[in-house]
Amino acid sequence: MILKSKNSKPSIVNIFADFILSKIPHEEETILQVADCNNFLLVKGKTSYNVPLNLSEIKDEFTTKFESIFPDLKLTHTIDLIEYDCDIEPKKSITQTYFDTENCSYHYKQIESYLSDDSYSYDYILNLKKISDEDNLIHVSEFPHGYSLGQGRLFYYYGKHITYSIPSSALFTSVTLTISKEPETEFLVYNNFSGEYDDYLKSVILDVFDFDMSWLETEIKKVDWFSEITNPLEEYDFVKKINKDFVII
C-alpha cells in the first residue's frame, strides 16, 4: 500500500469510498471504487445490497462531515454506476505485503516522507521512486477502501494482526502473506529479508494462530474506518495486540 498525504486526492477518494460503504450493512458483499476525474467523480461498484443509495445526498453529507479535515475538498458532479442486488461470492484469499514498521501497511520510507510533510509519496513497488499526485490525471480509490469485510478486507486486518506478533528475532523487514480460510488455498509466507518462502516462520504462525477471525470481525465493525485515512499511522489496538505464544527459537 502507498501512504498518501492526508489532503491529497488519493486520500479523498479512498475515504469517500469508505463513506459510501458505511451506508451499506457490513453483512453485505460490496466492492466500490471512486475515480476523481477532476470535473466529476465516478463511482463504480457492485453490491449484494438491494436498496439503492442516494449518492447525491451521500456526497453532500460527506462534504459537510469532512470539509474541516480536507481544506481542498471539492466534490461537484457524481456519476453513479453502482450495481445492486448482485450475487457476489466472498473473496477466498488475498496476498498482501506487510512491513516491520509502526503501521505495518507502510514501508518505513513512506512513513518518513509522511512525517516530514513531503508533498511526494514513496511507492515501494516502484523501487521507492518519487511520484507526485499531480502527475496523475485520474485518481482511483484503492483496496481496502470501498471493500467490504468479505471482499478481502477482513483477511487484510488479520494479516496485520499476524505481522505485529512476529518477534524481532525473526529477522524480517517485510513479509508477503497469502491468507485464506479455504483449505484448498495454502497459507504462504514470503520473507522479503531472505528473499524466499519461509517455511519455518509459516510453521510457527500456523502453530499459534487458528485463523478464526470472528473476534476480529466483531471488533472491526465497532470502530471508525475513516481514521485509516485521517490518522493513517495510528492502528487499532485489537489489531496490534501481540500473540504472546509467538516465539522464535
Same domain for 156 and 38?
A: no
Half-sphere exposure of 76 toward its Cβ, with a 13 Å CA cutoff? 5
Domain assignment of residue 234, yes or no? yes
- Tens digit of pLDDT for each residue in 89-109? 999 999 999 999 999 999 999
The per-residue pLDDT for 9 is 85
Q: Angle at the Cα of 53 (from 49 to 54), degrees rounded to 5?
A: 175
Burial label, 233 (beta-carbon count in 10 A; 0-12, 13-18, 19+):
middle
Domain range for 107 is: 93-135+152-240
Same domain for 55 and 115?
A: no
Same domain for 112 and 216?
A: yes
Domain assignment of residue 104, yes or no? yes
Same domain for 79 and 99?
A: no
Same domain for 70 and 167?
A: no
List the beta strands (DSSP E) in the chain.
30-36, 40-47, 77-83, 93-99, 121-123, 129-131, 139-140, 174-180, 188-191, 196-197
- Tens digit of pLDDT for each residue in 189-232? 999 988 999 999 999 999 999 999 999 999 999 999 999 999 99
Does pLDDT of 129 surpass 70? no
Question: Of 67 and 122, which is predicted with more confidence?
Answer: 67
Q: How many structural domains compose the chain?
A: 2
